[in-house]
Amino acid sequence: MKARAYRRLGIVLASLALVVGLAPWAAGQRATSKARARAGVRPRVAAKPDTGTTKGKDEAESDKVVRSEAEWRKVLSPFQYYVMRQKGTELPFSGKYAVGHFKGTFVCAGCGAELFSAKHKYDSGTGWPSFYQPIRRDVLETEPDYRGTEPRVEVKCARCGSHLGHVFPDGPPPTGQRYCINSVCLKLKPLSAPAAKEKESAKAKSETASEGEPETDTPPAPANAVKPGGAGP
């Protein structure tokens, strides 16, 4: 019994010694924290790993744009409001970008966010502007759409949430996707003069390098053709 009592007493004395020994250290830490607070010095934190990327113009443009429906009616034309805010659809071949090749970047007509590059546009034969990929994945949002006879995937501007069209899995390589977009939802931002000049120079070099190659009698069939009457936006 005495041995057990001695052991308990030893544990109690050791605990008291530990508390007494830590008390000055804790007091010093509190004093240091108060001094730093008075001097306006923030405690040091571990630095975040360098990912090699910085927030540039494109990321700044991805900031959300929130407007009331009354404000949207002031910003958009009546038909744009019908398509972009009420998920309407323009008639095939009626849009200004439905047919033809363009140079530049297509931006959202509602907020100006860059969405598609003109070099990714192709003639799908459906009557709506078609692209096989966006400029970046994060510029678009998608969600299921069950309003039609068959389920579809709606495409929206990630910055302002406006309806743009739909995406279908019948596009050309390399993505196999067809982003079927209403012309009224887009605005074309032409290439700047230096960029256009650089592109023409690269094209001229490519044509010079290909001179002397034998011509084929039959041109290859376009891999990106889609039969007219396909599902639209």
Q: Is residue 205 one of the residues assigned to a domain?
A: no
What pLDDT was estimated at residue 141?
98
Q: Is residue 130 one of the residues assigned to a domain?
A: yes
Residue 41 or 118, more confident: 118
Residue 188 in 3-state DSSP?
strand
What pLDDT was estimated at residue 232?
72
Q: Is residue 28 one of the residues assigned to a domain?
A: no
Q: What is the pTM of this model?
A: 0.60
Percent of the chain with pLDDT over 70: 57
Q: Is residue 14 one of the residues assigned to a domain?
A: no
Q: Is residue 173 one of the residues assigned to a domain?
A: yes
Residue 93 or 228, more confident: 93
Residue 222 or 68, more confident: 68
Identify the domain containing residue 95 by its residue range.
58-194
In this prediction, residues 75-81 reach a mean pLDDT of: 98
Domain CATH code at residue 153: 2.170.150.20
Please tell me the total count of domains within the chain. 1
Q: Which of 1-15, 37-51, 102-116, 117-131 has the lowest mean pLDDT?
A: 37-51
What pLDDT was estimated at residue 233?
77
180 is an active site residue: yes
Q: Is residue 228 one of the residues assigned to a domain?
A: no
Catalytic residue among 108, 157, 160, 180: 180
What pLDDT was estimated at residue 148?
84
Strands annotated E in 59-185: 105-108, 114-117, 121-122, 130-131, 140-145, 152-157, 163-168, 178-181
Nearest to 65 by CA among 112, 3, 104, 6: 112
Is the pLDDT assigned to residue 39 strictly greater than 80?
A: no
What pLDDT was estimated at residue 4?
58
Rounded CA gap, 34 and 42, in Å?
A: 11
Is the pLDDT assigned to residue 24 strictly greater than 70?
A: no
pLDDT tier, 30 (very low <50, low <70, confident <90, very high otherwise): low
Question: What tens digit of pLDDT does each residue of 128-144 get?
Answer: 999 999 999 999 999 99
Q: Is residue 82 one of the residues assigned to a domain?
A: yes
Residue 49 in 3-state DSSP?
coil
Rounded CA gap, 122 and 178, in Å?
A: 9
Percent of the chain with pLDDT over 90: 54
Q: Is residue 17 one of the residues assigned to a domain?
A: no
What phi, psi does 217 have (nearest 5°)?
-70, -35
Stated as kind and residue range, the H or E segment containing 18 is helix 2-39
